[in-house]
Chains A and B, each alone.
Chain A
Amino acid sequence: MADIRCPMCGKPNAEEAETCLYCQARLKPVGPGAAPPGAAEPSAAGGEGVPDWLSRLRDQGSPTPSGTRELSGEREGPSDEEASDWLSRIRTRSDEESPAPSSAASPAEDMFGRGKPAEPSGPVPAFGPSAEEVPPASAATPPAEPASAEDDPEWLRRLRTRRAVEGTPGAAPAPSFPAPQTTGEGLPPDWMHAPHEDLATGPTAAPVPRPAGGEGSVPDWLRDVQPPAPAPAPIPFASEDDELRGAYAEKEIPDWLAAAREEAAAPVDVVDLASPPAAPIETPSLEELLAPGVLPEWLTAGSSPTPPPVEAPGESLEQAVLPPWLRAMRPVEGPLAPKGEAGEAEERVESAGPLAGLRGVLPPKVEAEVGRHPPVLPSLLDIQPAHAAHAELLQRIVSTPESRAVPRARRRAQARPWGGLAVSLILVAAMSVPGVTGTSVFARPSVIAVETLQTANLINSLPRDRPLLLAVDYDAAASAELEAAALAVLDHVMTVGAPIASVSTRPVGAALAERLIARTRAAHPQYQSGVNYLPLGYIPAGPIGLRAFAANPWQAVYGQSAPEGWDAAMVDALHTSSNFSAIMVVASDPAVLQAWIEQVHTAVPSVPLVAIVSAAAEPLARPYYESAFPSVQGMVVGLAGAEAYECLNAFDPASGRCGRLGVADSMWDAFGMAVLAAVLILLVGGLASVIRRGVISMRRTSHE
């Protein structure tokens, strides 16, 4: 089922609907010439007075909740199409018979209620394409009473008579409501035209321009009818006549009009407009029409027998006074102002509906609601080539789908656990071979490093009345490497018989020191806690604590009376850091050795310092030993140094050979196997990486 578009809001409604569901506008007029109820809304919003006739027509019936209008109960008149047909037939016949009268059209009200109030007897014309202008809105006047047949003008009666004589067949049918024309044919009579207000420039009294075209067959009274302004595009108001028809209450329709409708309802043959009429139609002259009392006053107001000279629109035109609400609806000046369309809207004459003949009527459809595409505005920017290139690049970036993706972080292949597993198995297997096979194929160090010898010499010269400060400053993770060297040196110290005081700047250092002493004490049971071994515990705050320890060691670690059973002489010696016979720092972190040197040794430079460090810390510890003013008097480095020191401890002068009973010696073969396996892994793996990289590069090159 075809939908009907509301002339007010443009929304589709069912075909059988009487009023619009959205804006309550009348979809099907009750009678010809009635304005839709919705048309009253804009004018009502503007506050200006709506002509009584129009408001009366709009108020016909009250909108029901369902959206339909209740008619007044009177029989609904003929359809809009039928009403337009009879009028168009009249017009056509008039054009063919006599020219349009030269008199100006009577002023008529526009859809906004401007102009003279409608006469009660006069019908509200179905406005057609016209170049006339609508007079300004005037105050609303009471609607006129519908005229009776006795009040019909003479010309109308003559028209009816003629129709009755001619009969239905052969009579010139009213074609579909014509679009705005330029030739003047089919134009409404002059009396239907009234100066209307130009929406853009205001009201003007300029008459309608004389239509062009042949005047031979046009009745005199129509000859002077000014043709409508040419419109660039035909406005299909013909098809929208039904939509534009307002609701006319049956009681408001004059009898003459109703009768004419009935006559028009009869089927008629289409008449070729180009062909001359079958019989001339006698029409009254313009003077006769303009005689007082012939035509309604509202039709003759403002008209004159002779058409005023045509003036260019806009020149010497009196500026119309627009109501505020109408002024607000005017298009804004500027690029968005549809100037062309405004011009078109001004020139377009309504051809159907109650606004027929008015110029500058807004189209029923709000184009914005229909979804018109916004106009393409000319760019006023001065685009430089660089800007255009950037814009093009940006467009290219945005349009490519890859650019819209969030870049994912590069992750390494996690699915390679076999690599770590393989390396672990190789290392474990390598280290297990010497222990499993019981072989020892790795040569022991044959040369003892100088720094190791110096350490041994220093230990040999330690006094027995002053304690050796043992700083166990390594983590449990490094104990596997450092314990071997520390045990070897401690064994030498205990052999010499020097008392030992242990301290640490690590929380677990105290426990590791206890482990060292416990393992070494097994071979030297004379060492007792508090007698010749003083565990001083933990020094917090790193270098700050060492600085405080250097100032007063006892106060830094205890600050109170000594534990019960401790040797008093030994405790007294601990009140001054210069009382230490030597400082032996066991560290895997070169920064720890640096802190001991900078915070403690600088305070007591006379106390020799020996460093037992891991192989990784040697590069940073050696400068302190090889300096012109060395801060370290001896070093034992890593497992090799421990192996060498164990040799020194177990050296047999008679045979000239070293004993191999130490921890380092037990680890030596496994250490050798592990290092060789690591070298093998690095060489093979590195070579494989290089080959793989080369293959990938070759593939990439071949693809390119």
Chain B
Amino acid sequence: MRIKASVIVAILTGAVMLLGYFLPGAFFASVRDVMLRSGMIIGTVALLLGVGNLLQVHLRKIREQRPGHLYSIFMVISLFSVFAVVVLFGPAHPYSVWVVSEIQRPLEIGLMALLAVVLLLAGVRLLFRRQALGTLVFFLTAILVLLGTAPLPFISLPFLEGLRNWIAQVPAVAGARGIILGVALGATATGLRVLLGFDRPYER
């Protein structure tokens, strides 16, 4: 079986990084440091690639005048404007901070508010769409946690707060830990598949 060079590089790199965590020695540590810094550079370039891809999509939308291309025009103008401000003045400059504080932050907060509305509506429809014991437990747990989290007017019910704390710290944590364990096992398996050469997302 002919093994491609990319597969060999991927396997060797993963093996060195993994062994560097467990085996003592300056050699593995130095190799690991070099790879870490290289990974940082690759991650930064990937961010720029994402911006480039985004730009490509919207430019084509503008060129083909697809529905909503006006929004794409606005997006492209905004992108280049903010990019210019940050490049010229720096990310910590008050101008850059103003863009984030007064434009991006309100927009994202509004999106989170929309998310709250969406989740509320979905929760209301959940009992209609999916009638199961798990759905009922989910529904009741959400109400109890909300009542225990929020303050109550004119009255104080420590029982609700205690119940909420118990739900958040016992069954929720237990369930979350179980999910995290399973996720860890799955992530380990996924990484091992790449290390062993079974999965080759980098290969053409």
Chain A interface (Cβ within 8 Å of chain B)? 419-420, 423-424, 427, 441-446, 475-480, 507-508, 510-512, 514-515, 518, 529, 535, 537-542, 544-545, 547-548, 551, 556, 615, 618-620, 622-623, 626, 638, 640, 668, 671-672, 674-676, 678-679, 681-683, 685-686, 688-690, 692-693
- With a cutoff of 8 Å between Cβ atoms, the chain B residues found around residue A443 in the complex are 151-152, 155-156
Per-residue CB contact flags for chain B residues 91-112 toward chain A (1 = under 8 Å, else 0) read 1100011011100110111011
In the A-B complex, the 10 residue pairs with the smallest Cβ-Cβ separation, listed nearest first, are: A541-B43, A685-B124, A675-B150, A477-B108, A689-B128, A511-B100, A442-B151, A544-B39, A476-B105, A619-B172
Decide if A541 touches B151 in the complex (CB within 8 Å): no
Contact A619 B173 (CB under 8 A): yes
* Assembled-state Cα–Cα distance A480/B139 (Å): 26
Quick one: which of A480, A544, A688 has the most chain B CB within 10 A?
A544
Complex CA–CA separation, A547 to B143 (angstroms): 40
Interface centre among A446, A674, A682 (most CB of B within 10 A): A682
- A423-B120, A544-B39, A619-B168 known; A675+B149 contact, CB < 8 A: yes
Excluding A423-B120, A443-B155, 9 further A-B contacts by CB distance (< 8 Å) are: A445-B151, A476-B109, A480-B112, A545-B40, A548-B36, A556-B37, A619-B168, A686-B127, A693-B128
Q: Nearest Cβ in chain A — how far from B141, in angstroms?
A: 11
**Chain B stretch 114-167: residues in CB contact (< 8 A) with chain A:** 116-118, 120-121, 123-128, 131, 139, 142-143, 146-147, 149-156
CB-defined contacts of A446 to chain B, threshold 8 Å:
156
Residues of A within 8 A of B131 (CB): 693
- Contact status A668-B42, CB under 8 Å: no
Do residues B112 and A548 form an inter-chain contact, with CB atoms below 8 A?
Answer: no
What residue of chain B has the Cβ atom nearest to residue A507's Cβ? B47
Contacting residue for A510 out of B92, B139, B154, B172, CB 8 A: B92
| Least Cβ–Cβ distance between B78 and chain A, in angstroms | 14
* Nearest A residue (CB) for B36: A548
Shortest beta-carbon distance from A560 to chain B in Å: 14
When chains A and B are docked, how far (Å) is the Cα of A638 from the Cα of B143? Answer: 18
Whether B109 and A480, one on each chain, are in contact in the complex, defined by CB atoms closer than 8 angstroms, is yes
A676 to B155, CA, bound (A): 13
B100 near A618: Cβ-Cβ < 8 Å: no
CB distance from B190 to the nearest CB of A (A): 15
Closest to A545 in B: B40
**Once bound together, how far apart are the Cα atoms of A692 and B129, in whole Å?**
11
* A247 → chain B closest CB, angstroms: 71
Known A-B contacts A618-B168, A619-B176, A686-B124; the reply to A672 vs B117 at CB < 8 A is no
Is B33 located at the chain interface by the 8 A CB criterion? yes
Q: Which of B126, B154, B173 contacts A441 (CB 8 A)?
A: B154
> Once bound together, how far apart are the Cα atoms of A690 and B42, in whole Å?
52
| B88 at interface, CB cutoff 8 A | no
Check B100 against A672 for contact (C-beta < 8 Å).
Answer: no
B96 A682 Cβ-Cβ under 8 A = no
Residue B6 CB within 8 A of the other chain: no
Kindly identify which residue among A427, A510, A679 contacts B143, using a CB–CB cutoff of 8 Å: A679
> Is there an interface contact between B111 and A477, defined as CB atoms closer than 8 Å?
yes
Asked whether B43 lies within 8 Å of A692 as measured between CB atoms, the reply is no
A476-B121 in contact (CB<8A): no
Closest to A684 in B: B124
Verify if B180 is at the interface (C-beta below 8 Å from A).
Answer: yes
In the complex, are the beta carbons of B92 and A693 less than 8 A apart?
no
Q: Determine whether B44 belongs to the interface, using a CB cutoff of 8 Å to chain A.
A: yes
B36 touches A622 (CB 8 A): no
Task: Tell me if A622 and B173 are in contact (CB < 8 A).
Answer: yes
Whether a CB of chain A sits under 8 angstroms from the CB of B177 is yes
Contact string against A for B residues 32-53, beta-carbon threshold 8 Å, 1 for contact and 0 otherwise: 0100110111111001000000
Q: Which residues of B contact A678 (CB under 8 A)?
A: 116, 120, 146
Of all chain A residues, which has the CB nearest B139? A686
B118 contacts across to A, CB distance below 8 A: 420
A544 surroundings in chain B (CB, below 8 A): 36, 39-40, 43
| A556 to B, closest residue via Cβ | B40
- From known contacts A423-B120, A511-B96, infer whether A683 and B143 are also in contact, taking CB-CB under 8 Å: yes
Distance (whole angstroms) from the CB of A33 to the closest CB of chain B: 79
Q: Tell me the bound Cα distance from A471 to B93 in angstroms.
A: 19
Residues of B within 8 A of A442 (CB): 150-153
User: How many Å lie between the Cα of A622 and that of B47 in the bound state?
Assistant: 32
A420 and B175 CA atoms in complex are apart in Å by 31
Q: Is the CB of A548 within 8 A of B33?
A: yes
CB distance from B155 to the nearest CB of A (A): 8
Known: A478-B112, A686-B139. A681 touches B36 (CB 8 A): no
Bound complex: CA of A537 vs CA of B100, how far in Å? 15
Residues of A within 8 A of B127 (CB): 686, 689-690, 693
Q: Point out the residues of chain A lying under 8 angstroms from B101, CB to CB.
A: 511, 515
Given the interface pairs A423-B117, A475-B108, A686-B139, the reply to whether A675 lies near B43 with Cβ below 8 Å is no
